[in-house]
Amino acid sequence: MAITLEEAERVLNAAKRKANEMGLKVAISIVDPRGDLVAMARLDGALWRAIPISQGKAVASAAYGVPTRELHGRADGPVMRSLVEYTGGYMTPQQGGLPILRGAVLLGGIGVSGAKSEEDEVIAQAGVDAL
């Protein structure tokens, strides 16, 4: 089972609202469990690099099924390094990504980039909470 476009748009819109409330300029990416992009937005004024970083956080969270803050400490381990290399550097084990779950079923992941990592995660959580 994977997140639908309608669900992804609901998550994305809630995350955008939270970022705007916080006055932050970020990029937000929603991926399915395989890491394929379903929805993405770069808020006005967000830096270009926020896009691939937000996708990488979403992919990492979906791949492991945990918040990316839990992966940061493992970033230099051989398994994580090999997966990052395997994906061509596509995974970003940095705080700001969360799994999107329905019960125990992984629907995908959300990643946010452009603010402080803690703020990215708050925005991501607002998106997850909308589902």
CATH code for position 9:
3.30.450.150
| pLDDT at 28 exceeding the cut of 80 | yes
Residue 24: which domain range? 5-129
Quickly state the pLDDT bin for 123 (edges 50, 70, 90): very high
| pLDDT at 124 exceeding the cut of 80 | yes
Quickly state the pLDDT bin for 97 (edges 50, 70, 90): very high
Distance CA 17, CA 62 (A): 23
Could you give the number of structural domains in the chain? 1
| pLDDT at 107 exceeding the cut of 90 | yes
Distance CA 88, CA 13 (A): 29
Rg (CA), the chain: 13
Distance CA 79, CA 99 (A): 19
Residue positions counted in the chain? 131
On whether the CB atoms of residues 45 and 25 are closer than 8 A, the answer is yes
